[in-house]
């Protein structure tokens, strides 16, 4: 993975992890309200989408765009299609 | 939030948090491969979907299904539509 | 389904259908560019999300919020969770 | 767009269009049930995902994997990231 994307993704996922930790603590409270938790989960999912996009962009640049020169287009494309399947 | 859903959601999100921590550690490795990270992020997103579904089911049962009797259907429905918007 | 939501959803889906028809015509052109088609498909998916939200809101108001009074909360909630699974 | 993907996407979107037409007809019935419509909309969204994946695979093979040789990697990657944003 390109260095800049690696560090950016790491930073984003660390923040998301802290956020997830705070939701777990919310759920220690018997009176916690469902919709508040739903909103927080959505926010973490948005952060994961953001980190995923950073990694995807790095992959497209470093590995997919160079596949033609390397000659492994079919493998690289199939691998990426599988990874994107669950977006 | 109903007790059973609260504890189930808490358990799921704790597991997801540990998983996210392991991805952050993956990203400490300069040689980490993009698609491996993409797959792991997808897996955590799936876990968050699962936890969100547990919370949503509890909310539908405890708060939405009883709105007619309480008389606050419009507020409860609007609140939930907003929360679902980012699924 | 409540009348207002039924007619609103019908209108939205008719528009989406016309849009889809135009994408099929785009694909008659051998020179059509992939990303243009991707964008148009995304736009139709957004329109379907919109129509789905209209139907969902009507369902929450008319059928879920009244489940407590009818006594069929478990069935109604389970049915909806299944339908929401593929959002 | 590669010929095979173009024809495959066209076929899939024609089927999805017919399916959408049948949902519009469902909504002519005042007694139509919300969850039945929600399910059908989900099915069409799945079909659109399928068509989008066909187009995306063709684009990755024909245009992204050859970007390194052409020298327009940055533009091609940015264009695709925008198109994927709304998956």
Provide, rounded to the nearest whole percent, the portion of chain A with pLDDT above 70. 98
pLDDT 10s digits, A2-41: 999 999 999 999 999 999 999 999 999 999 999 999 999 9
Residue B56 contacts C, CB cutoff 8 Å: yes
Mean pLDDT along residues D2-29: 97
Residue A84 contacts D, CB cutoff 8 Å: yes
For B33-50, letters b (16+ CB in 10 Å) and e give ebbebbebbbebbebbbe
Residue A20 contacts B, CB cutoff 8 Å: yes
Confirm if B21 and A21 have CB atoms less than 8 A apart.
Answer: no
Residues in chain B, overall count: 87
Query: How far is A80 from chain D, CA to nearest CA, in Å?
Result: 9
d(Cα D78, Cα D35) in Å, to the nearest integer? Answer: 39
B interface test, pick of A5, A8, A20, A78 with most B CB neighbours within 10 Å: A20
A71: pLDDT strictly greater than 90: yes
Each residue's pLDDT tens digit in chain C (87 positions)? 999 999 999 999 999 999 999 999 999 999 999 999 999 999 999 999 999 999 999 999 999 999 999 999 999 999 999 988 754
* Residue C69 with chain B: CB contacts under 8 Å: 68-69
- Looking at residue B85, its pLDDT comes to 77
Structure-model confidence comparison of residues D40 and A83, the more confident one:
D40
How confident is the prediction for chain D on average, in pLDDT?
95
Contact C41 D28 (CB under 8 A): no
- Looking at residue C87, its pLDDT comes to 46
Count of Cβ atoms closer than 10 Å to residue B71 Cβ: 9
A interface test, pick of D59, D65, D70, D83 with most A CB neighbours within 10 Å: D65
**Is the domain covering B3-84 a CATH 1.20.58.1000 domain?**
yes
DSSP track, chain A: --HHHHHHHHHHHHHHHHHHHHHHHHTTSTT--HHHHHHHHHHHHHHHHHHHHHHHHHHIIIIITTHHHHT-HHHHHHHHHHHHTT-
Contact C57 B65 (CB under 8 A): no
pLDDT 10s digits, B33-58: 999 999 999 999 999 999 999 999 99
- Looking at residue B87, its pLDDT comes to 47
In chain D, the N- to C-terminal Cα span, in Å, equals 20
- Looking at residue B78, its pLDDT comes to 96
pLDDT 10s digits, D37-67: 999 999 999 999 999 999 999 999 999 999 9
D87: pLDDT strictly greater than 90: no
Nearest residue of B to residue C60, measured between CA atoms: B77
pLDDT 10s digits, B2-13: 999 999 999 999
Q: Domain map of chain C by residue range?
A: 3-84
- Looking at residue A85, its pLDDT comes to 77
């Amino acid at each position: 993975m390109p260095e800049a994307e690696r560090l950016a993704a790491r930073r984003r996922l660390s923040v998301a992890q802290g956020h997830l930790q705070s939701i777990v603590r919310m759920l220690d409270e018997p009176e916690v309200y469902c919709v508040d938790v739903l909103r927080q989960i959505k926010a973490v999912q948005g952060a994961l989408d953001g980190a995923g996009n950073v990694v995807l962009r790095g992959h497209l640049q470093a590995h997919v765009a160079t596949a033609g020169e390397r000659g492994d287009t079919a493998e690289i494309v199939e691998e990426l299609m599988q990874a994107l399947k669950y977006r």
